[in-house]
Chain A
Amino acid sequence: MTIIDKTAFVPEPRSGGDDSTTLLEVRDLHVEFHTRDGVVKAVNGVNYSVEAGETLAVLGESGSGKSVTAQAVMGILDMPPGKIPQGEILFRGQDMLKMSNEERRKIRGRKVAMIFQDALSSLNPVLSVGYQLAEMFRVHEGMGRKQAKAKAIELMDKVKIPAAKERVNDYPHQFSGGMRQRIMIAMALALEPDLIIADEPTTALDVTVQAQVMDLLAELQREYNMGLILITHDLGVVADVADKIAVMYAGRIVETAPVHELYKRPAHPYTRGLLDSIPRLDQKGQELYAIKGLPPNLLKIPGGCAFNPRCPKAQDICRTEIPALVPVTEQDGAELPGRGSACHFWKETIHG
């Protein structure tokens, strides 16, 4: 596992913005969807925080609530059926859930932006990419048509789209998948936001292009000193880019850790299962491990620890008591900063 020294080639960090408060802090966030079949509890008390210049990777299977949390942060959750019964989303200390729609809209795009998974369907097919990029400047900054277009070309250059000047009037379907994702990144970056949420930005891409797009994202993040929340289910993508990881399961964070710690010593059986199910060259010929069973139905989350029906270590206590996210320590009690696990048997998992 290679470690990229993130401080090695940092351009001048962007100044401005008060750095005294945490950039984004999510506190005890709950999200429910009221459907005909009952209440779907998609997010059940998530806590995380991101500082400027930091990358948080949120890891989890489909339906673990990672995207819903991000949508709640962006304020693009469909409400109804969605509902946020409790929790706080603090952006620079201000609770965004208490803001008016208009105040939130002003933050979107300018302060917090989002990159979506499927760039083809996330770009308007009837407008040229140049228009869509220029729209960011025209709407938020009131720029003129010409000036905005020049900025759009500049942005396309920035995300390394070849022949930006010639391609500015092309339509989304004329670009390749990787180029489209670059345009999405350019749109999100247009106003140099403080925080970018990338929802599985490389899932729809070719493996060869994935690395390029991730490198670009990481490079731009460093340049602008942005906070980045990277939502993914791909452990391989995370390793090179993230500073810290939050693993989600059934709407809860089950483990948090600095990125390399997590790979070295997972403190939750679910994380261990995820790591064991990555194919490895040195285990060629052996059967690939898979976590048995399916993710829980969010309409009826199992009692106790939500992972207990699939957990190889499950005991009686796991079926009755919900484990809290507790700090993980060394065997001798020494603190491990930033580490936490929501498992009754984290000691056995990490040390045993």
Chain B
Amino acid sequence: MPETLTVKDTTVPGAPEVAPEKADKARSLWTDAWYDLRRNPLFVISAVLIVLLLAMAVAPGLFTGTDPRKADLANRYLQKPHFGNVFQADWLGYDVQGRSVWARMVYGTRNSLSVGICVTLLVTFFGSLVGTLAGYFGGWVDAILSRLTDIFFGVPFLLGAMVILTSFAERKLYVVILSLAFLGWTQIARVSRGAVISVKEADYVTAARALGASTSRILLRHILPNAAAPVIVVATIALGGYIAAEATLSYLGLGIAEPTVSWGMDVSAAKDQLRTAPHTLLMPSILVSITVLAFLMFGDAVRNALDPKMR
């Protein structure tokens, strides 16, 4: 494409040559990463999937005109999918209560993605806060924070979440998010602690100190941007895991309660009709897998782009 542009440009007399200027434009780690990502098919596919899923979460009405809670028992005898009627209410069939499987899948996206994204944001914030403080200040601050991290690390993630959630009578979305975040921050804390320790030894941190930068400026401007890459990688990969965890909890009946639509709950409800209506179980399961896969691929692509050793 740039070729055709320059050819066009040269027809205009005195037009500045744009192409060589572009080539040696300033490129930071992040611009480099973006350059790599755009050319990575893994990234493009996962990004398209994620954009679609986000659209489903934000505006489910664009994808289906059917109310996911409309249960027409007459339809329960029409459970079979009609794949020909793409995006119609019955194209993936009806579930045992006569609700459109497709509509429920679309409306369940918001729940899954909110859990995944919110948990990741919370975990990244608190995890890197703990890790950065521990890594930068070292000494007894590090000793206390690292032991605290170890204690939380010892709690099995899903089991811990189940124990917490069973103690709540009413399980709202934020309860699920908070309990997953409460148990999930340790990995990010460890990764960011390591990254900060390696960055704080760098000469440019000493140089910033020698030129009179305050502790907060050194941390925010000079250490964090250089320690962010591994944290971002771990966070994007973990996002898929949190979505899977939410589906698991919903499946076990410990996630969000009805009438909220949730993929895990639908899979759980469908397990009794596995032989008569397998699609009611398969369709939401496939969507969970695709979502988790999309975020894992996304994280992988970001890691490849940010890690200089992988180049």
- Whether A135 lies near B210 (C-beta < 8 A) is no
Report B212 CB to chain A, min CB distance, Å.
Answer: 3
Interface residues of A in 87-122 (CB under 8 A from B): 105-110, 113-114, 116, 118, 121-122
What range describes how many residues of A lie at the interface? Answer: 20 to 34
Segment at the interface with B among A169-177, A246-254, A265-273:
A169-177
- Whether A124 lies near B208 (C-beta < 8 A) is yes
- Whether B210 lies near A74 (C-beta < 8 A) is yes
- Whether B28 lies near A171 (C-beta < 8 A) is yes
- Whether B26 lies near A124 (C-beta < 8 A) is no
With a cutoff of 8 Å between Cβ atoms, the chain B residues found around residue A125 in the complex are 28-29, 204, 226
| Residue A187 is within 8 A (CB to CB) of chain B in the complex | yes
Report A128 CB to chain B, min CB distance, Å.
Answer: 6
- Whether A121 lies near B29 (C-beta < 8 A) is no
Segment at the interface with A among B34-42, B114-122, B217-225:
B217-225
- Whether A128 lies near B203 (C-beta < 8 A) is no
Evaluate whether A114 and B207 lie within 8 angstroms (CB atoms) in the complex, with A126-B225, A139-B217, A171-B27 already known. yes
Cross-interface CB contact of B211 among A114, A126, A127, A169, cutoff 8 Å: A114
- Whether B217 lies near A108 (C-beta < 8 A) is no
| Residue B289 is within 8 A (CB to CB) of chain A in the complex | no
| Residue A188 is within 8 A (CB to CB) of chain B in the complex | yes
Per the bound structure, the CA–CA distance linking A188 and B225 in Å amounts to 23
With a cutoff of 8 Å between Cβ atoms, the chain A residues found around residue B11 in the complex are none
With a cutoff of 8 Å between Cβ atoms, the chain A residues found around residue B29 in the complex are 125-126
Query: 0/1 per residue, B138-165, Cβ < 8 Å to A?
Result: 0000000000000000000000000000
Evaluate whether A124 and B222 lie within 8 angstroms (CB atoms) in the complex, with A116-B203, A118-B203 already known. yes
Per the bound structure, the CA–CA distance linking A170 and B208 in Å amounts to 19
| Residue B213 is within 8 A (CB to CB) of chain A in the complex | yes
- Whether B226 lies near A124 (C-beta < 8 A) is yes
Closest to A190 in B: B211
Per the bound structure, the CA–CA distance linking A76 and B27 in Å amounts to 31
Per the bound structure, the CA–CA distance linking A187 and B206 in Å amounts to 14
**Chain B residues within CB distance 8 Å of chain A:** 24, 26-30, 202-204, 206-214, 217, 221-222, 225-226
Known: A125-B204, A187-B207. 12 other contacts (CB 8 A): A109-B211, A109-B213, A110-B212, A116-B210, A122-B204, A123-B204, A124-B226, A126-B225, A139-B217, A140-B212, A169-B26, A187-B211
